[in-house]
Structure 1
């Protein structure tokens, strides 16, 4: 198992973050690290993503940081320049995958059916995002895929406190992606103590 997979497996839940103000990124990273989830997938759904990643990396050099919702080669470059450890995409785009491979950057692209798994395997990938997890059949679908393919999965999309351990109980699941522990309104209103409690609750249920 490669280093990234080992790190994801140890963390178990990856907070998926869409941040609108990069100035808050370092404080958010502090809340995550101090409350037991030293990881973030910062999505490129906002214009502040690259700067937020830079700020997190500067504040916490050892934190595991990914870039999410990466759709283009330009965004790959921006993410790498910002200092990410890995890249995540919602779907399987061979062009983006090839570019990440050329740049030596791990990518976890999204899939939700057997054909896409096989296309990803053809490109040498062995770790994939199962997205959107719940609308795509949830635990039952992931168990079916896991029975056929030698792949590690990171389910994201509809994962919540009620089902996260159901996903994590599947041997092929390294970690789950989720947003429930980092609501945007708490970030935007500097509710750091409340955020810390939510993050700590997640870390607690994973023990």
Structure 2
């Protein structure tokens, strides 16, 4: 899953189309820039072949704004009670973040069994997720944070990994240059990693 940071909403639809051409059907567009909400609106309205979600949802306001913009799902880097209540209030599917066993157990107690593992590499990477899978076999993860096309297969080989996310599919320099052909090529490489 591409984790996309857009500084310009004007390139949102073309970025999404390049990902679709490369075989990607879902995008996490982070709320890290002022252009993010408008970018989500444009992708939701103009590129029906991709499911757009909002990432870096940090507050109840973010959750509401992303839902209003047309996000189909929400992703958080971590989980607080206030934020979890806001996610539930939108009615949208959510991928709340966890980086420790205790955080994962707390989410599991709420009935949440699919989580974001962030920051993946800094939190122990493949070895950490493999270890977490022992005592918590009912949980599945989408690791993000420091993952590359070279390390993604190691994550995907784990039974408790549903997918991986990364910014390598839409590098900042390719976005700035509007190099959608490169983004399509990177998407094709990532699609080939699917199990």
Q: Give structure 1 stretches of 5+ with no counterpart.
A: 1-13
Aligned twin of 1:84: 71
1:156 to 127, 131, 144: 144
Q: What is the deviation of 1:201?
A: 1.7
Change (3 A) 1:129 1:183: same
Q: TM-score, normalised by structure 2?
A: 0.95
Residue 59 of structure 1 pairs with residue 32 of structure 2: no
Q: What is the deviation of 1:206?
A: 3.1
Calculate the aligned-residue CA RMSD, in Å.
1.2
Q: Conserved in 1, the CA contact under 8 Å of 2:60 and 2:86?
A: yes
Q: Conserved in 1, the CA contact under 8 Å of 2:29 and 2:40?
A: yes
| SS across alignment from 2:165 | strand
- Deviating 4+ runs (over 2 angstroms): 204-207
Aligned twin of 1:11: none
Residue 100 of structure 1 pairs with residue 87 of structure 2: yes
Q: What is the deviation of 1:162?
A: 1.6
Q: What is the deviation of 1:204?
A: 2.4
Q: How many residues align?
A: 194
Aligned twin of 1:72: 59
Q: Deviations over 1:36-65 (max 9, x none)?
A: 112110000001111101100111224211
Q: What is the deviation of 1:167?
A: 0.5
Q: Give structure 2 stretches of 5+ with no counterpart.
A: none
